Amino acid sequence: MNLGSSLPIVDGHVHLWRATAADDLMDLSEKAGLPRIHIVCSVGTPERALNANAAAYLAKARFSGRIYGSGGLHYGAGEETTPRTLLRQGESLLAAGCDGVKMLEGKPTSRKRIPWRMDDPVYALWFGFLQEVGVPILWHVADPETFWDPVRIPASAKANGWDYTDGTYPSQGQLFKEAETVLERYPRLRVVFAHFYFHSLRPERLESLFIRFPTVHVDITPGSEMYRNFSPRASFWREFFTRWQDRILFGTDNMAPRESWIQAREGMRDKVRMMRQFLETNETFEGFCTATSRWVTGIGLSEGVLRKIYAGNFERLYGAVPRPLDMEAVLRHCDKVAKFARRTPGQEELLKEMKEIQRTLEQL
């Protein structure tokens, strides 16, 4: 590899599922050569992820200066979903010290579960607020087109519950249309579409979007199809990445381990190695796990372009250092979630985690 580990990198797309896993996540990230990370939170509903914002706050507090955090919206957790309540959530996220917001509302499973369209009027005040204050949105919209195809859907997608072939999910095109309607209404939104906006087979369409909306970006967080699609046109993509070097961010989708320590560590390091080899060299090499089961050809970007993709573009959007937390606002959020868990049957695990997060934050 040309540059080894010499360039600073911010991992702009990382998940933390529970607060107690923050130590493992940071250790694994450091071993992968990523000392600064951006924890992005999922949609919070009574079924899952109501702990996510609080866990990210605690990680930011414990690893000050090394962790950025983007909070997610909560639905059905003790209050009605209205334009006004979503606006208040946005204001609370920023008051607590979030560096941005994450929207998983465009993933088909989340979109079906919520179940408002992304361009529904319920989000009017939310998007208006984010545009006004300039907060970056890391936005997951759609999934690979094969997940809707009963013939081509990967076995891994089925295993993860991402089988959209039964006709009950919104189509990929519908999800793109909803997101782009939002952009037309709020053209100054600072958006980073996750996973290359699932446009690795549609570069002309993505380029058109870049031209129409100067504050739209994408990250190169691996999907099951992305690097397989890039490889046959390595020269084309080298020119594309160079031309749009200010709009592309690095991210891994790594997360605190759910499997054994050694498997998680090696999987994360191998993913980062593969991504860097793709970006930094012209080599053809065997890809890793979900990125591709075939061979990958690198696009050999210049050092100047790499510096922007690895860290510069992220820092321009999110700041050179993470925002400080406001502990009073953080504890108010934790107390609100704990009260919901306390009065709601079946939320014992959530209440237990929230109590532990509150105790640790108060000690800090």
- Give residue for tokens 């690979």: 144
Instruction: Name the CATH superfamily for 10-363.
Output: Metal-dependent hydrolases (3.20.20.140)
- Both tokens of 290, joined, read 């979900």
- Both tokens of 249, joined, read 């961010």
Q: What contacts 90, CB < 8 A, 6 or more positions away?
A: 101, 126, 129, 130, 135
Helix-helix angle 172-185:203-212, to 10 degrees: 20
pLDDT in tens, the chain (364 residues): 444 558 999 999 999 988 888 998 998 898 888 999 999 999 999 999 999 999 999 999 999 999 999 999 999 988 899 999 999 999 999 999 999 999 999 999 999 989 899 999 999 999 999 999 999 999 999 999 999 999 999 888 999 899 999 999 999 999 999 999 999 999 999 999 999 999 999 999 999 999 999 999 999 999 868 888 998 999 999 999 999 999 999 999 988 765 554 455 667 788 898 899 999 999 988 875 544 457 889 999 999 999 999 999 999 999 999 999 999 999 999 999 999 999 999 999 999 999 999 999 998 8
- CA-to-CA distance for 361 and 359, rounded, in angstroms? 6
Does residue 115 have a cis peptide bond before it, meaning omega lies within 30 degrees of 0?
yes
Say what the pLDDT of residue 194 is: 98
| Domain spans, the chain | 10-363
- Asked whether 193 and 141 are in contact (CB, 8 A), the reply is yes
Alpha carbon distances (Å) from 267 to 29, 33, 114, 262: 11, 13, 32, 8
DSSP string for residues in 274-308: HHHHHHH---EEE--TTT-SSEEE-----HHHHHI
Say what the pLDDT of residue 3 is: 46
- Asked whether 215 and 246 are in contact (CB, 8 A), the reply is no
- CA-to-CA distance for 22 and 4, rounded, in angstroms? 27
- Closest by Cα among 168, 219, 172, 169 to 191: 219
Q: What are phi and psi of 2, to 5 degrees?
A: -70, -45
Helix-helix angle 327-343:348-363, to 10 degrees: 160
Q: What contacts 290, CB < 8 A, 6 or more positions away?
A: 156, 222, 223, 224
Question: The pTM is what?
Answer: 0.95
